Amino acid sequence: MNTFLEIVLVIAALISVIPVVNLTKNKSDSKYLCLKILIYTTALWTLFIFIERTVGNLSVVYYVHMLGFPIKFLLSSLMLCTIFQYIGRSIPKWLVTILTLIFVSELLLALSNDSLQLLLSIKIIDLNSFKDLYINNYNLIFYIHLALSYGVLLLSVTYMFIFLSKHQGIRQYKSVTKTMVISVFLVLGINLIDFLSVNTHVDLTYISLVFASHALYIAILKQDMIFNLRTSGQGEILHNMREIYVLTDQDKKIVDISPTLLSKYNIERESIIGKDFEILSNLLRDRVVLYTDRNMDVETDENKDHFHLREKIFNLKGMSVFGYMILLYDETQVYKLLRELNHLSNYDMMTGLHNRNYIEYIFSKIEDTSNVGIISLDLNGLKINNDYLGHERGDYLLKSLAERVKKVMFETKDKDIARIGGDEFLVIIRNTSINVLDQIKNDILEACFSKNIEDLVSVSIGTAFGKDNELNIFQLVHEADKKMYEMKDQTSHKYKNKMIEYIKVQNKYIR
């Protein structure tokens, strides 16, 4: 059994040196301070174990062995410090003071054990070799020392559990917590075995603490993206970026998020860290449009912010895991400009109706003209009003006709109303009937009629209805235009004569 444990001891000694070599390569880096001291202290204990087993001076052997007791407590305290640093908190000063006093007390007890024998009931003169120090001749103070060391370890695990309960779902946090729990039970279990059954001259607590320290080193320094981001300059760079960003781990769990995004949409950081990116998307859905390509209808969601998403895989130096950087480029103003341009290209500025460009686009989309109705309108007497009463009168008639048509057709569904020329208007209605078309025509004529010539809007109207897709859309428009011109031949001349008579009598502009 002792041979096996000695092999394990050698392995533990080698493992304790590996992190020291890696950390020494970057001496100027001040991050991971507690973790670094933990690793260096573990390596120091390894040196003491080596001295204990190789030096012939029994006084030296005795004191380096006794120094192992305060080192055990120091390692437990450094693990607690590492956990506090890991979760982004500072150890309370009162706790630091207590831990320091206990460590100093243990150091004094270790150095005075030869005379007081409060830890071990053995003196230097009783030593034949280092093996005599591993006989179970422990005193009460020794057990208090163990209780304090284990108490500090359990305190570390408690803080980790509290922290994890607020950050459920993040792989890295779970990994470190699992490491701490296993470490504590490993130390407790090995010491229990040592006390109850194993008679060995190998310090089993040393072995367990070396493996625990190394596991923390791997979990935090090599695998934890969150801790690396927070304690490195890269995290500060990210927080000063103009672009809004979201960082996730390889499972698409959010590990960091732009403060700008949090404040802009009033999101609590703690409520989103560790959650799936999809949850953030759903949270923003009522206020934000997230998209990965620009082939979008610019008229949709005009009251929302628009963000273009670009996703890239990133790695942190020295880490074996990867994550995703999701950059959110705010293109709200771009879409606002696109909507304005779209409005200019598809709407008539005077009347607010669609224009010819839009109607031609609609024409290109209509393949089946079944139950499609066309209404062609032409304003009578626009030229005579412009020539004799001024363009303000002509503008008034155009706007008035547009408003009256919109009012008549307010409740009509699947319609497009457009001004397609100077005095020409066109209406397209889908899923309609001949009777509806005739009713709309009559309602428009009624809305435009007035006995007072100032309020009269003289208009000629023609309709066409698509039955069983017999005619294409252009043929329907032609038919509606033909009927409109037939009516215009009967109404336009009469309106012009009335206007000439009125102009001769009235010497004013009609507004």
- Provide the domain limits for residue 197: 2-223
For residues 239 and 184, the model is more confident at 184
CA angle in degrees (0–180, nearest 5) for 267-272-278? 105
Bigger pLDDT: 316 vs 463:
463
Question: What pLDDT, on a 0 to 100 scale, did the predictor assign at position 375?
Answer: 96
Across 221-230, 326-335, 485-494, the highest mean pLDDT is recorded for 485-494
Say whether both 218 and 245 belong to one domain. no
DSSP code string of 338-356: HHHHHHHHHB-TTT-SEEH
Residue 137, in any domain of the structure: yes
Same domain, 130 and 56: yes
Is 343's pLDDT higher than 50?
yes
Cα–Cα nearest to 218, from 185, 168, 183: 183
Number of domains in the chain: 3
Looking at residue 511, its pLDDT comes to: 46
At 214, which CATH number? 1.20.1070
Q: What's residue 290's pLDDT?
A: 83
Q: Is 52 helix (H, G, I), strand (E, B) or coil?
A: helix
More confident residue, 265 or 177: 265
What is the tens place of the pLDDT at every residue in 362-415?
A: 999 998 999 999 999 999 999 989 888 888 999 999 999 999 999 999 999 999
Q: Quick one: pLDDT band at residue 281, thresholds 50, 70, 90? A: confident
On the CB side of 125, how many CA atoms lie within 13 Å of its CA?
Answer: 2
Judge whether 511 lies within some domain: no
Average pLDDT over residues 422-439: 94
For the four alpha carbons of 137, 143, 148 and 153, in that order, the dihedral sign comes to positive
Q: Of the ranges 165-174, 303-312, 390-399, 431-440, which one carries the lowest mean pLDDT score?
A: 165-174
- Check: CB of residue 418 under 8 Å from CB of residue 401: no
**Poorest-pLDDT segment among 116-125, 428-437, 473-482:** 116-125
Among residues 337, 357, 389, the one where a domain terminates is 337
Q: What is the reported pTM?
A: 0.51
Q: What is the mean pLDDT of the chain?
A: 82
Paired sense of beta strands 459-465 and 373-379, if any: antiparallel
